[in-house]
Amino acid sequence: MTVLVAALAAWAALGVGGPSGAAGRAAEPVLALPVADGRIADLARIPEPDWRPGHRGIDVAAAPDAVVMSPGSGRVAFVGVVAGRPVVSIDLDVGVRASLEPVVGTVEEGARVTRGDPVGVATTEHAHCAGCVHWGLRDGERYIDPLDWLEGFGRIVLLPVPAGA
């Protein structure tokens, strides 16, 4: 058991792992919900392989015209329309890309934002759910679960059962 704990500690010290399991990523959940006082309305169901049907992100409850904020610090990569939906995408400093939709952007591409900065306004036009903002997160081309990166949530870790329990 001691060898296993030492191996895991060494692995973590090398920066391997992190919320998405990718090398060099943040070891702790570091992102915030993109909607103030938001609650999660639907969970991610990321398919394997990635071309199969699924839900590639989480839905956060949001009133129409709610201010949508950057979940972390980074640079705005895209503000526009994709498949008929208004989208704001941000390349976050932690090495992943956040996409928020349907969100009418109030920032310009290339702008620096910090966690909590307003980036747009929620709209009900072309939404796949009523009264929500869809928050997708990608590591390269691979979709990952935003809950793994959300401060206060993070990955579920199984702990050993105490002796005599």
Residue 162: band (very low, low, confident or very high) from pLDDT cuts 50, 70, 90: confident
- CA nearest neighbour of 155 among 40, 50, 24, 20: 20
Please state which CATH number belongs to domain 28-148.
2.70.70.10
Q: Where along the chain do its domains lie?
A: 28-148
d(CA 28, CA 26): 6
Model-level pTM? 0.77
Task: Collect contacts of 161-164 with beta carbons under 8 A, ≥24 apart.
Answer: none
Residue 21 reports pLDDT greater than 50: no
Q: Looking at residue 22, what is its pLDDT?
A: 45
Q: Give tens-digit pLDDT for 55-109.
A: 889 999 999 899 999 999 999 999 999 989 999 999 999 999 999 999 999 999 9
